[in-house]
Amino acid sequence: MNQYAGHDGTPLLMEKVVDWGIKNLDRARAHAANTPWELHSGIPLEWYTLSENLYRAYQLTGLTKYKEFGDVWRYDSYWNKFAETSAPTNAQGVHAYSHCNSFSGAAMAYLIEGDPRLLRILKNFHDYLQSSQCYATGGYGPAERYVFADGALGESLALRMDSCEASCCSWAAFKLAKYLMMCTGESRYGDWIERLLYNAIGAALPIVENGKHFYYANYHLGAGMKIYSHNPYTCCSGTYLQNVVEYQNLIYFHNDAALHVNLYLPSSVIWETGGQAVKLTQETRYPEAETVTMRLDMPQPQNFTLRLRVPAWSCGVSFKLNGSALNVAAQPGEWASIRREWQRGDRFEMTIPLNFRRAPIDRQHPDNTPIAWRSCVAPWSLHSRSCTST
């Protein structure tokens, strides 16, 4: 409230709350584990997600007690699994959403401390999810767990009715990808944001009467459906709202020299460069239509770079400026960069051909072939080596 709305009273309230926590909260905790079931989110539940906001409070106020209390809740025991690899053999079986969310604490620690090891951890964790845990939708976490990279994700389409928590998974992934884009400048992290925007939170059922809310996105091959939670006002009702207000933080990024467009949504942004305000307005029906139109408005002509995310899946992206074709390198998975002296009223078009494509769910199921039903259905394992065909 203080950062975004300028509310002067909230830092004092925040300090009172945190002072109480420093004095009264028990430091004892159990780390998450895949067995027994009760430890999937640690004890107390999800304690490892606390550090991010404490670090944000330190960044906002400069008060060292926020940093010190944030350090209490660091999750180095899990983060370190990704220090040297994006394919650890012992990261599975734990609660998917909250463990992804914990890496936002690692991101804030990196922004404060500047330790390159933390950034390497973040990048490796992202690549771990993309290579072995994500469906084509960007969702992850069948039965709310990470699975072994041995075909278990493909098997989940036949075995599970709870493919991912769309609202919570989107919230944690949005933050992680946003931090990575800010820290690395790489556009590839925006592809995950785009997939989740349209397929996960963007495709969620609405919250209805008495806090009834969408819980599981079910990708089951025989009878896919979307499922409301039996319980009102659980975590997904809160992250549903957080996702929606986060959209504005995911569309545009900038540095001193360039404005970056990450998402193609009807929107506008005002960015200050060269001592003046530049307004960019997007008009588009993407992804239902393949053309994105951007209009620029500024008091005087201005030199700057406009960078546009070229989706990693795309092919043949093209551009026009004021109706004339513009020759711009457009490598999938990277930024397309246009530097020029922009004029007031410039009309820029980007066309992203919409082509059907298939994506294998994992290496073991490249064509999503039928599999044998198995005798074990423990939701936290989904691990074929512990199963026998029936």
> pLDDT tens digits for 313-337?
999 999 999 999 999 999 999 999 9
Top pLDDT among 161 and 71 is at 71
**In the structure, what pLDDT confidence band is assigned to residue 32 with cuts at 50, 70 and 90?**
very high
Convert the pLDDT of each residue in 336-362 to its tens digit.
Answer: 999 999 999 999 999 999 988 888 899
The tally of CA atoms less than 13 A away on the side-chain side of residue 252 is: 18
Task: Count CB-CB contacts under 10 A for residue 169.
Answer: 30
Judged against a pLDDT cut of 70, whether residue 386 lies above it is answered with no
Q: Is 384 helix (H, G, I), strand (E, B) or coil?
A: helix
pLDDT at 235: 87
Convert the pLDDT of each residue in 245-290 to its tens digit.
Answer: 999 999 999 998 899 999 999 999 999 998 999 999 999 999 999 9
Instruction: Characterize 305-321 residue by residue with b for buried, 16 or more Cβ atoms within 10 angstroms of its Cβ, and e for exposed.
Output: bbbbbbbbebeebbbbb
pLDDT at 101: 98
Residue recorded with tokens 């699994």? 81
Predicted TM-score of the model (pTM) = 0.92
Convert the pLDDT of each residue in 177-213 to its tens digit.
Answer: 999 999 999 999 999 999 999 999 999 998 888 888 8
Judged against a pLDDT cut of 70, whether residue 380 lies above it is answered with no
The partner residues of 281 in beta bridges, in order of sequence, read: 268, 295
pLDDT at 74: 97
Separation between Cα atoms, residue 126 and residue 177, nearest integer Å: 8
Q: Give 40-61 as a DSSP string.
A: TTTBTTTGGGSHHHHHHHHHHH
Judged against a pLDDT cut of 90, whether residue 387 lies above it is answered with no
β-pairing, 347-351 with 291-297? antiparallel
| Both structure tokens of 305 | 């770079």
Give the torsion sign (CA, 68, 72, 73, 77): positive
pLDDT at 328: 95
Convert the pLDDT of each residue in 124-151 to its tens digit.
Answer: 999 999 999 999 999 999 999 999 999 9
Element holding 76 (H helix, E strand): helix 76-79
Which residue, among 347, 342, 298, 343, has the nearest Cα to 320 in the 3D structure?
A: 347
The fold adopted by the segment(s) 2-251 is Glycosyltransferase (1.50.10)
In the 8-state DSSP scheme, what is residue 266?
A: S
Which residue, among 199, 165, 194, 217, has the nearest Cα to 333 in the 3D structure?
A: 194
pLDDT at 227: 83
**In the structure, what pLDDT confidence band is assigned to residue 237 with cuts at 50, 70 and 90?**
confident
Judged against a pLDDT cut of 60, whether residue 368 lies above it is answered with yes
The fold adopted by the segment(s) 265-351 is Immunoglobulin-like (2.60.40)
Residues 366-382, mean pLDDT to the nearest whole number: 43
In the 8-state DSSP scheme, what is residue 298?
A: -
Query: In whole numbers, what is the pLDDT of the chain averaged over residues?
Result: 91
| Both structure tokens of 49 | 């997600």
**Residue limits of CATH 2.60.40 in the chain:** 265-351
pLDDT at 321: 97
Residue recorded with tokens 């599975």? 92
**Residue limits of CATH 1.50.10.20 in the chain:** 2-251
The answer to whether 374 touches 390, Cβ cutoff 8 Å, is yes
Which residue, among 372, 389, 382, 300, has the nearest Cα to 342 in the 3D structure?
A: 300
